[in-house]
Structure formats: structure tokens, C-alpha cells
Chain A
Amino acid sequence: MPVLEVRDVGKVFPGVIALGGVTLNIEQGEVRGLIGPNGAGKSTLITTIMGVHRPDSGSIWFRGEDISRMHIWDRVRKGLNATHQTALYVPELSIRRHIELGIMVNGFPATDVMLIAETVGLEGEMDENPDVLSALGAKKLEIAKALSTRPSFIMLDECFAGLSFEEGMEVIEIIRKIAEERQLTVLVVDHNLALVERVAHVTTVIDRGVVIAEGTFEELFSNQDVVDAYMG
């Protein structure tokens, strides 16, 4: 049974059909890519899965349970989490406190803080405030915050945006590490096809709020719909 099932989910914002009936199944332990042109509905899909928006139609199932009407915090406690496109932090509070938050809220042991910091490579900056972080550092902090809630499924929204190729490769190493060591299922959402290709087992392409293809990159770019979506 898939760990996450998105069943025909629709979401309409005033004047825009953001999701026009998306169906997506992701298996346990998979690293799935999600790509699509600007405005395709990738971020809306993630925020809807997380519970920021309620779907207007369809349903979302996580580990066999319908979570469509659950609060964000309940979804997080079930093991679902996501990173934000733009890092979300309080500039006055240290990186340590940001990682501690999820651990404290969920009652996990304090030893998790350094383990997570070491996993993402922030152990040397724990007492700094987040606004000293580079773009890569901010991505790491987002991943660390998500890991602090001990998720079993994590969605990384625009996780390569604003990074150089080398920095993107560093994020890929982190993704591989957390997927392997923590047996995480990962959904990687980004525009950078070269990087998504390097990390995803299977990739889903979304355009104008619907899934248009799914498969390996080789399969995807022999699909005329995908080529049309990207090339116009």
C-alpha cells in the first residue's frame, strides 16, 4: 500500500484552478521527484498535502488514514512534514532553538538536536542566528527543522532554488543520507531537472494542475506532453 495517496485532489483559488484533480501514489522508502513548469501547481499540491489548504475535492491518505481534514500539526505528528520554499525562521532566535522546537513539542530526546545538526552539517553554527546563513545554510535549516519532528515522509519544496550546482549536490547528499539512515520517504520538488534526476527514483510531472506523466527521466522526456509542457 502506498504511504501517501493523493486521490483526485482539486483546489481552486479565485479565478485559478490550481489543482485540477491530481492523483499521486508514493511508496514507502521512495525518493520521488515532482517537476513542472512555473505555475503548474507543485507548491499548491505540497501545501494541500500539508494541510495549509483544504482540498475542494478528492482526498489525501497517509499510511492508510484519510488526513484531508486534519490540522497541520496533527499531520506533522503523524509523520508528515515539508520544508518551505523560502526559509521560515525567527531571526532573533538561534539555529539551535529552531531545531529544538520540534523536538521539544514532540517530546523527543534532546540528543536529537546534535544528531540532526550533524546530519545536515549545521553543527558549527548552532549558536548563530539564522540570518547569517547562506542560501545553502537556509536550506539545511529547513531540512533540520523538518527532521526535528521525526517524520517518516518529507516533502522538500524548491530545495535547490537559489543554489549553485555544487551546493545542490550537497543537498542531494543530505537527501540520500536521510532517506537511507532514517528510512524516510522523500518528495523532491524543484525546477532543476538535472539535480532532481540525480536523486529521484521516479519523477512525476505536473502541468496546469494535473499529472501529465510519471516515470524515469528517460521515459519522461520521450513523452511528447512533457516536452510540450516544458518547451511550450
Chain B
Amino acid sequence: MSRDSVRWAATFVALTLAAVLFRADISFVISATFFAIFAMSWSFFTSYSGYLNLGHVIFIGMGGYTSAILNYHLDWPMPVSIVIGSIVGTLLGWLYLNPIHKRVSGLSFEMVSFLSIIALTNLVLSGYARPLTNGDLGLSPLDGIFSTLGFAIGIAALLCLFGYGYSRFLSSNSGKIVDFARESQDIVRTAGADPHRYTGRLLLLSGLLASTGGALYVHYSGAAVVSNTFELAFMIRIVVIAIIGGRFSLYGSIVGAYFVVFAGFLLKPVVSSHIEFLIIYGLGFAIYFLWPKGLISILEVAIRRVVPGRKSVQ
């Protein structure tokens, strides 16, 4: 067994244990896993390609709305809607973002991807799309997924499967080429390859998980609305989670998601939602300021003390 497979199997066991231990509050575990899915898929492209993608929710929204439209308007069975939604969402998001990332980089890519989600949010809410999206009412009710231990374990398995796949990609030849492309596209070009071909693959894989997560999430939420798909606040939450956890680590997204969701869980009964977000994002700021590599770096130091000689995790 490879080191990656052992690590991701161990992660799956840990997440399953967390689900079993917190089964009385299983919705928080499921929520944390969904955010881990979104943050990890964002981090996979952004951290390893060097493109700060502020339009990642395009995948989530496309996957979510496609599945919701099929289920709500056409009465397609939920599992079929989710599968089709995941595929269509991935392709639409990729066909939109891939040419943009080929054309512009740096701040221009950030601005274009950021403006894209603002435009898409308004398109979804506009009269043009209302027959399909129901505007700000959203598509509801949808066939729902219930908060069960089985579902919590299922999406943990999805997260870990993709985590394993991502790790394998990063250690493959394509991943090694991406390592160079992130730092200098010219090095890759003069080695005889188009760097965008490789960063484009990263974007596609990143989009597949985000879109699948998006399709599942709207059914779990019972509704496809902009606030759980395309909205800027949703995008910001994903970025903050990835940063708090450690955006140069796939595991960091899981740590960040569980930290943020469970901090909310503990704070909710005692403070208002504004104070809750102030505390969580304030903590995020402090963590990022003091430990730019995020919570995972603190965890790694702790693990290294227990198991000396252990290498850092991807």
C-alpha cells in the first residue's frame, strides 16, 4: 500500500469516528465534511496551480442548479439528477474557467473569476433565468438527503477518495510539471509543454469534486438557492476555511472545515451570528497571521513531536 493510500484510509477512519462520536449532532459533521469538500477542491486548484480562483463556486452552483433543475422541473430521480448535475456542472464550469485561466493570470484572473460569480448570482436571480431557477425563491422542495450516519460516512468516503486521487495526481508526472508551472510557466514551455494543459487538468479535477459536492449539497439542503451555491459570501467562507486549515495541504481543508463548523456549533448557543462570525473569522485572521501555513502546520509540529522524522503532509 502506498503512503498516500494509508494516509487517506486513516483520514477516512478518523472522519467516520467523528461521525459516530457526534451522531447526535450529525448535521454538523455533514456540514463540516461538505465544507471540507468545497475547500479541498478550491485549494487543489488554487494552491497547486498558482491561480487564485475566486469563482470556484461556479462549479458548485452549476452542479447544484443542474441537479436541482432536473429533479424539480423534470422530476428526474435524485440519484440520476446528482450524477448528471455533477458531470454537467464540471463541464460547464471548466468550459467557462479554463479559457479564462489560459488567457489571463494573476490579479486579472482573480478579478475575472470574482466578477463572474457576481454576474452569475445576478443572472440566476434575474427575470431571464427565473423560469428555470425560480429567482430568489430558489428551487424547493427538492428530493432530499437526510442527515444520517450513513450519509455522513458516504460523503467522508467521497472526500477521502478525491483526496487520495488528488494526492496521486500531485505525485504523478503531471503533478511534477504543475510544480514548475506554478512557479514559472516559461520553464515548462521551454521544456516542450503547454503549462495550461496541466493546470487545466487540475482545474477539471478540482471542478469535478466541487460540482459533485454542489449537486449533493442542494439536495441535502433541500433547496437550490444562491446562498448555498453561487453567492460571494459562500465563496468567502470556502476560502477562509482553506486558509485557516492550511491552503498548501489537502488535509488542511479538512482541519479548517471541522474547526470553523464546530467553532460555530459551540458558539451558536451563546452568541449572536454576527459575534459568531466575528470570532471565527477573527481567529482565522490570527491563525493566518501567526501561522501562514494554517492549523495543519501546528498539527504537523505536534505529530512530529510524537513521531519524530515524519515528513510533512501534502
Q: Measuring CB to CB, which residues of chain A are less than 8 angstroms from any residue of chain B? A: 50, 71-73, 76-77, 81-82, 84, 88-90, 92-93, 97-98, 100-102, 104-106, 145-146, 148-149
Contacts and interface: CB of A to CB of B under 8 A. Distances in A.
A89 B184 CA distance: 8
Contacts of A72: 189-190
Interface in B181-213: 183-184, 186-194
Interface residues of B, number: 16
- Top 6 A-B pairs, shortest CB-CB distance: A76-B192, A102-B191, A90-B183, A105-B193, A72-B189, A101-B191
A78 to B, nearest CB: 9
Contact of B192 (A73, A89, A97, A100): A73
Contact of A149 (B183, B184, B192, B194): B192
Nearest to A76: B192
Interface of B: 173, 176-177, 179-180, 183-184, 186-194
A139 to B, nearest CB: 15
A141 to B, nearest CB: 11
B189 A88 contact: no
Nearest to B193: A105
Contact of B193 (A73, A84, A88, A97): A73
A148 B188 CA distance: 12
Q: What is the predominant secondary structure among interface residues of chain A facing chain B?
A: helix
A104 B190 contact: no
Contacts of B193: 73, 105
Given A90-B184, A93-B179, A104 B173 contact: yes
Contacts of B192: 73, 76-77, 102, 105-106, 149
A99 to B, nearest CB: 10
Which of A50, A72, A81, A145 has the largest number of chain B CB atoms within 10 A? Answer: A72
Given A104-B176, A105-B177, A106-B191, 17 more contacts: A71-B189, A72-B190, A73-B189, A76-B191, A77-B192, A88-B187, A88-B190, A90-B180, A90-B184, A90-B187, A93-B180, A98-B187, A101-B176, A102-B192, A106-B192, A145-B191, A146-B190
A133 to B, nearest CB: 15
A98 to B, nearest CB: 8
10 contacts: A82-B190, A88-B184, A89-B184, A90-B179, A90-B183, A92-B183, A93-B183, A101-B177, A106-B192, A149-B192
Nearest to A103: B191
A159 to B, nearest CB: 15
A205 B179 CA distance: 40
Contacts of A50: 190
B176 A73 contact: no
B178 to A, nearest CB: 11
Contacts of B179: 90, 93, 97
A219 B135 CA distance: 80
A90 B195 CA distance: 15
A82 B187 CA distance: 11
A101 B188 contact: yes
Nearest to A100: B176
Contacts of A81: 190
Nearest to A98: B187
Contact of B189 (A76, A89, A90): A76
Nearest to A72: B189
Contacts of B190: 50, 72, 76, 81-82, 84, 88, 145-146, 149
